[in-house]
Structure 1
Amino acid sequence: MGSKPMRTAVTLCAAAALAVPLGTATAAPSGERTSQQSRDPVLVDCSSQPDVRPGTFVLACGDGNSRLVSMQWSRWDAESAVGRGTNAVNDCVPYCAEGTFHSYPVTVRLDQPRAWEKDPGERHYTRMTLTYTDGRPAGSPGTVTYPLWD
């Protein structure tokens, strides 16, 4: 066999090796999904950190005496987010440092997304509604709506 078949085989192998990475790149998810994810609003926490689908969230930033825990989100999109979890609330009896945390199952809805002051290219939810599904803190209505910070 001459050198021509060997050169052809080497060329074909090189072409195949180059085609594999190109094929993988083309088969990867399009930028459309990434841009969709970046369009979905975030939830801004007490430290001004954005988060998506957080498992926990502090409601009482000053003292941490009310927070959402064990959150499971069923919806998170450009208009709203919906999840279920527990609102852990300190009864502050006799005072907050000596109080007891009580757990109340809740449904959480986030909505009214707006541009975030810290990063106007990022949208964040500006309102949270808690609906207590089995018991609730003393003096609290069954549904509570809070404006969220920027």
Structure 2
Amino acid sequence: MRAAVTLCAAAALAVPLGTASAAPPAERTAQQSRDPVLVDCSSRPDVRPAAFVLACGDGNSRLVSMQWSRWDAEAAAGRGTNAVNDCVPYCAEGTFHSYPVTVRLDRPQAWEKDPGERHYTRITLTYTDGRPDGSPRTVTHPLWD
């Protein structure tokens, strides 16, 4: 009888925990945080992502191994790697090359999809050791809404 009561009590405690952890970690973090989010290619908000696709159409440029040192109401800063496809002889047969970068996100604004949420609208990459052919050392791009 004691084992049955203990088992029922454990099950009762597990139900609320299972429900609370059912949301993906990034969404749960974004909901708990009032800091801006980073909106990905699928219009999902994320906070401190480990990876981020820069070229949504074909995935030929992405950030990987991201480690964030700052993420607040004004800006985010981190380091990682920009994996870029050289598309030689064409993208499907190309080779990905890795370039260390520092990343800055800034210019937070209300997100059109969820005006109660703010999202970063600009990204700046600074290549710290090598860079893709024809690319300047520092590049800045607007981010989608």
Q: How does the TM-score come out when normalised to structure 2? A: 0.78
2-side partners of 1:38 and 1:77: how far apart? 9
Greater C-alpha radius of gyration = 1
Residue 118 of structure 1 is matched in structure 2 by 113
For 1:131 and 1:38, the matched residues in 2 are separated by: 27
- Secondary structure of 1:39 counterpart: coil
Q: Is 1:83 the counterpart of 2:78 in the alignment?
A: yes
d(CA) in 1 for partners of 2:121, 2:71:
14
SS in 1 for 2:98: strand
Identity %: 90
> 1:53-68 residue pairs with structure 2 within 5 A?
53-68=48-63
Instruction: Report runs of 4+ in structure 1 exceeding 4 Å deviation.
Output: none
For residues 90-135 of structure 1, give each alpha carbon's deviation from its aligned partner in whole angstroms, at most 9, with x where no partner exists.
Answer: 0000000000000000000000000000000000000000000000
The normalised TM-score by structure 1 is 0.76
What is the alpha-carbon distance in structure 1 between the residues aligned to residue 59 and residue 73 of structure 2? Answer: 28
| Shift in Å, 1:39 | 1.7
Partner AA of 2:93 in structure 1: E
What letter corresponds to residue 60 of structure 1 in structure 2? A
Q: Distance in 2 between matches of 1:49 and 1:143?
A: 27
Task: Mark the runs of 5 or more structure 1 residues left unpaired by the alignment.
Answer: 1-33
Deviation at 1:38, TM superposition (A): 2.5
* 1:143 aligned partner, one-letter code: T
Provide the residue aligned with 2:131 in structure 1. 136
**RMSD between superposed Cα atoms in Å:** 1.4
Secondary structure of 2:79 counterpart: strand
The count of aligned residue pairs is 116
